[in-house]
Amino acid sequence: MFKTFQTYKLIFLRLIFIVIGIELSIYFFKIELFFTGIFGLCMVFLLGREMYFYVRNMVLIYNKTISSILQNDFTSDFSKQKFNKSYDDLFQLYETLKEKHNEQISKDIIYRSILNTIETGAVILQKQETDWNIFLMNDYFSNHFDVPKVSKWKYLKNQLPSLCEIIEKDDFHEVKTSIEISINEQGKQTFVLQASRTEIFEQDYCIVLLDSIQNVVEKKEKDAWINLMKVISHELLNSITPIRSICQNLEDLVEQDSLSSEDLDDIKNSVQTMLRRSDHLQKFIEGYRKLAILPSPKKEKTDLKGLIENSLQIMNPLLRKENIEIENSITFPYFINVDQQQTEQVLINLLTNSISALENSNFKRICLSAEAKENRIFIKISDNGKGIEKEIEDKIFLPFFTTRNEGAGIGLTLSKNILEAHGGYLIHKNENEKTVFEICLIESL
């Protein structure tokens, strides 16, 4: 405010000098001092000209700065105008906006670089009035599907009609499915399609991601092999390291000329330890063989109610010993096409897990329920135990992963493999702060 007042003050002073100059020139003409009067008029002209360029320069600088800000054009350099103190605040605003603009450009470049390096097709759509335009398309999408980086949705639809029809069908909202796309007139390839819609600053966006099924499977296989190698190497080292140490100790003992009774006891203890570690390693390998060589299921029409009752009867001694209440709401005779022995083993494994989860509970209860939906039977087994910790939720189906000292770590993995061999699945989820294992099997009609 003070700087603006100073500007007006300078303009006002210039006007006063011009008025005084005019008055003096008129006065000199009246007293017939013509040359002095002409000189005065020349001075008035120079003062007016200087004032004109001063005001013109201020207006031009102001207009240029405001125009640059409004048009997001931060290429101008106002450092040479620093002498003009009237616009210090305006120049400071310009520099602040320029820094933020450059920072945003840097972030955009980084984000686009990241999108262009991932091996996932990505397209971001932006809604403008009633039409959708392509806000961003990454290099992988453009190169892999041989699509130019067009800006209009209708142009993309001409190139990939099967993809665009699915997205349009759900009105550009959330989609998660698989899709077959023909590339370069070659055979069709299968992709995982994920689309989501979001609103940012009253702007509507739709994010479309395409992953090759082959890439997804290869990544899953690689992760599975890495986890398996970690487990196997851990178990082998845990057994081989103590056995090797014991063997070195035995070698030292047998090289002695005579053996005392204490030496004999050491040899006996060492041999027993090696036998225990060998037994553990043998059980580990047998567990691996169970997972690797799972026999094909011999399916037959089976009553789920009878299968559940048989499993509970087998587990009854342990359930009674642990004082566990069973709430079995499966009373309707659902029929499933399964291998009875293998499916019974799955139920026993899940019941064993629930019993273990209830170890430190005062009141112990296991609930079993089932429902039929879309030609499938969904069986739920839950308990009121401590549940599964979030840190290990993604590990419970890994081979040989266990939190129990006496556990082998293959129960859930084996159960999952058995159900998948039946065309079903096994998942876990949280319902009312309880961990629920859900089995899905095909209903036998």
What are the φ and ψ backbone dihedral angles of 74, each rounded to 5 degrees? -115, 35
Is the pTM value of this prediction over 0.85? no
- CA–CA separation, 377 vs 443, rounded Å? 6
Please check whether residue 54 lies inside any domain of the structure. Answer: yes
**Domain of 278: which CATH number?**
1.10.287
The answer to whether the CB of 287 falls within 8 A of the CB of 410 is yes
Please indicate, yes or no, whether residues 317 and 421 belong to a single structural domain of this protein. Answer: yes
The answer to whether the CB of 16 falls within 8 A of the CB of 24 is no
Please check whether residue 246 lies inside any domain of the structure. Answer: yes
What was the pLDDT predicted at 24? 82
- Separation of first and last alpha carbons in the chain: 86
* 3-class DSSP state of 393: coil
What was the pLDDT predicted at 392? 64
Describe the crossing of helices 340-357 and 304-321 by its angle, rounded to 10 degrees: 30
Please indicate, yes or no, whether residues 368 and 431 belong to a single structural domain of this protein. Answer: yes
Please indicate, yes or no, whether residues 353 and 435 belong to a single structural domain of this protein. Answer: yes
Q: Write out pLDDT tens, residues 227-239.
A: 666 666 665 666 6
- CA–CA separation, 441 vs 219, rounded Å? 27
What was the pLDDT predicted at 80? 61
Please check whether residue 106 lies inside any domain of the structure. Answer: no
CA 424, 425, 429, 435 torsion: positive or negative? positive
Mean pLDDT by 10 residues, the chain (445 residues): 57 80 80 79 84 77 76 69 61 78 81 82 86 87 84 85 84 80 65 84 86 64 64 64 72 71 75 72 62 72 89 84 87 86 86 83 87 87 78 65 58 81 84 81 80
Among residues 246, 263, 292, which one ends one of the domains?
292
User: Following DSSP, what letter does each residue of 14-74 receive, concatenated?
Assistant: HHHHHHHHHHHHHHHHHTT-HHHHHHHHHHHHHHHHHHHHHHHHHHHHHHHHHHHHHTT--
Domain of 271 in residue numbering reads as 218-292
What was the pLDDT predicted at 285? 64
What tokens does 114 get? 């990241």
What tokens does 112 get? 């686009």
Please indicate, yes or no, whether residues 18 and 85 belong to a single structural domain of this protein. Answer: yes
